[in-house]
Chain A
Amino acid sequence: MITIKQLSIFLENKNGRINDVAKVLAKEGINMQAFSMAETADFGILRLIVSDVEKAVTALRAADFAVMLTDVVCIQCANTPGSLSAVLDYLAAENIFIEYMYAFSEGDTARTIIRPTDLPRCIEILQKNHCRIIDTYSL
């Protein structure tokens, strides 16, 4: 699969809820590879990339968290100025809008999770422009 599964978790804005999620995952031996949080005044959505998606969903739902899965795409660019913006330009030129994105770096490389409006077309464009897409196995 060239896309990867992201966990989206509904959280009330209460102290320690992100930590509660982390504890559930730690107990199952699941790694958090990347995350980002989007918030309003009284609730938020935690977006997570983890090492074992199915196990994480089962464990979190059992712990009464609301969890859903979203397909996202992960790209890798050189960790240098301008390389991400070049990729975004390709997408903008083809009218692909980005709902949200977040980045994490690993050594010399920067990886970016992108949730576009039109996922299949987004992948098509990225491939056409020879961007490096990271799939589930190479994460």
Chain B
Amino acid sequence: MIWNENKECMSREQMHELQSKRLRKLVSTVYHNTPFYRRKMQEMDITPDDIRTIDDIVKLPFTTKQDLRDNYPFGLQAVPTSEIVRIHASSGTTGNPTIVGYTRHDLGIWQESIARCLTAYGITRNDIFSVGYGYGLFTGGLGAHYGAEYVGATVIPTSTGNTEKHVRLIRDLGITGIACTPSYALYLAETIEKMGVDAKQLKLRVGMFGAEPWTENMRKEIENRLHLNAYNCYGLSEIMGPGVAHECECKNGSHILEDHYYPEIISPETLQPLPYGETGELVFTTLTKEGMPLLRYRTKDLTSLIEGECECGRTNVRMTRIVGRSDDMLIIRGINVFPSQVESVILEMPEFEPQYLLVVDRINNLDTLQVQVEVRRDFFSDELSTMLTLRKRLADRLKSVLTVSVDVKLVEPNSIQRSEGKSKRVVDKRVIE
């Protein structure tokens, strides 16, 4: 099903025209209302008149997370605070958090975006939909909530926290759809199994999963254990929140709502645009946002774009899975390693729980990578030699995928800390001199 055929199935020429029109308006707005962008454009010697079509976007300056921090709290806001009706903030481990203000119009676009996602997943007014993202400053909870209400579903603001209660609600209320992080979905599956509830008997049908990168193997794992269709939902609070891109029934890339969020892929080193199909850093321009419009915001997410009409009928550009983050990427003995690579290897081996931790250290000036992985409660061998073989198989497989050698440590079930939000998968003990 398609929520807004007019926009989601537009011809490429019409889309180009719409994006060009919106970009011209956006550039003129930020030039006149955001001193930060006016200064940047003046430094680059460009004026709004230089922007004719969407293709001129490459002339515009980039925006980084650091720019947002430097202009904390309201420096990038393009409207007076009286126009702002809500504020969200994204957590920062260091420095200022990122503050994002939304006008009433922005919230309208946001719920429209989520409605497009949910409709693509098959959620309608007849569904009972549980929002298992955290409610609060994080955009996940309220974003998914209002979008699902907009579609007309019966929305349950479960949030994170009491997982057993969540399972009982799913069972007793006949919840059919759920939104949460993929790692929380696995935690939910574990809790369901632990409580002795049969997942097959539940009415769960659709899962909207996002806020952290996940893999195809993780999808299979979630679908098998929760007996639902698991769909990706991409978003980030700086741009809007969840709902920037979503999968459809084809599960072949996430459709970007490019009439609102214009995507580019650039090389993180040279900052030059890359063609369709090449992997690089994802960059977004908010074409219709009023509160805090951003030009060419560098997401740090590494992915590639797919052009061409999808079998579902949508014509907008799709993005492939996030393969990593340019700042999440570990450099071990000069080789780029992403936690997601480790995850997909572990998910291929049913002998292990999909719970892992990467511990990076530097011993005698040499980087070391240890991967801790949990054995399953019911699956392992009573023979040491078999366990050692299993460990070696995992280590060999990791080495062939990562091209660095890995020390695998088998740990007991439930000994790696679970998280209800974004999982902490890496501990880097290296001292940077």
Given contacts A12-B412, A64-B414, are A40 and B388 in contact (CB under 8 A)? yes
Instruction: Report B366 CB to chain A, min CB distance, Å.
Output: 20
A76, CB-defined interface residue at 8 Å: no
Q: Point out the residues of chain A lying under 8 angstroms from B380, CB to CB.
A: 8, 10, 66, 68
Inter-chain contact B377/A45, CB cutoff 8 Å: no
A75, CB-defined interface residue at 8 Å: no
Inter-chain contact B383/A64, CB cutoff 8 Å: no
Q: Point out the residues of chain B lying under 8 angstroms from A61, CB to CB.
A: 377-378
Q: How many A residues touch the partner, as a band?
A: 20 to 34
A41, B9: Cα distance in complex, Å: 60
Instruction: Report A14 CB to chain B, min CB distance, Å.
Output: 9
A94, CB-defined interface residue at 8 Å: no
A 1-39 to B, binary, CB cutoff 8 A, 1 in contact else 0: 000001010111000000000000000000000000011
B370-404 interface with A by 8 A CB criterion: 375-384, 387-388
A79, CB-defined interface residue at 8 Å: no
A6, B382: Cα distance in complex, Å: 9
Q: Point out the residues of chain B lying under 8 angstroms from A47, CB to CB.
A: 382
Pick the residue among B376, B382, B388, B411 that contacts A70 (CB under 8 A): B382
- Contacts between chains A and B (CB distance < 8 A), count: 60
A68, B351: Cα distance in complex, Å: 13
Q: Point out the residues of chain B lying under 8 angstroms from A65, CB to CB.
A: 377, 412-413
Pick the residue among A8, A43, A100 that contacts B410 (CB under 8 A): A43
A42, CB-defined interface residue at 8 Å: yes
A114, CB-defined interface residue at 8 Å: no
Q: How many B residues touch the partner, as a band?
A: 20 to 34
Q: Point out the residues of chain A lying under 8 angstroms from B382, CB to CB.
A: 6, 8, 45, 47, 68, 70, 115
B81, CB-defined interface residue at 8 Å: no
Instruction: Report A73 CB to chain B, min CB distance, Å.
Output: 14
A67, CB-defined interface residue at 8 Å: yes
A 35-64 to B, binary, CB cutoff 8 A, 1 in contact else 0: 000111011110100000000000001101
Q: Main SS of chain B's interface residues?
A: loop
Q: Point out the residues of chain B lying under 8 angstroms from A68, CB to CB.
A: 378-382
Inter-chain contact A66/B376, CB cutoff 8 Å: yes
Inter-chain contact B377/A67, CB cutoff 8 Å: yes
Q: Point out the residues of chain A lying under 8 angstroms from B415, CB to CB.
A: 12, 64
Inter-chain contact A42/B412, CB cutoff 8 Å: no
A99, CB-defined interface residue at 8 Å: yes
Inter-chain contact B384/A66, CB cutoff 8 Å: no
Residue of B nearest to A70 (CB): B382
B105, CB-defined interface residue at 8 Å: no
A 69-81 to B, binary, CB cutoff 8 A, 1 in contact else 0: 0100000000000
B430, CB-defined interface residue at 8 Å: no
Most chain B C-beta atoms within 10 Å of own C-beta, residue among A61, A65, A66, A115? A66
Pick the residue among A66, A70, A100 that contacts B375 (CB under 8 A): A66
B334-366 interface with A by 8 A CB criterion: none
Q: Point out the residues of chain A lying under 8 angstroms from B411, CB to CB.
A: 12, 43
A40, B409: Cα distance in complex, Å: 11
23 A-B contacts, Cβ less than 8 Å apart?
A10-B380, A12-B411, A12-B415, A38-B384, A39-B384, A40-B387, A40-B388, A42-B409, A43-B387, A43-B411, A45-B382, A45-B383, A61-B377, A61-B378, A64-B377, A64-B412, A65-B377, A66-B376, A66-B380, A68-B381, A68-B382, A100-B383, A115-B382
* Seed contacts A43-B410, A65-B412; 7 additional CB < 8 Å A-B pairs: A10-B387, A12-B411, A38-B384, A42-B409, A43-B387, A61-B378, A115-B382
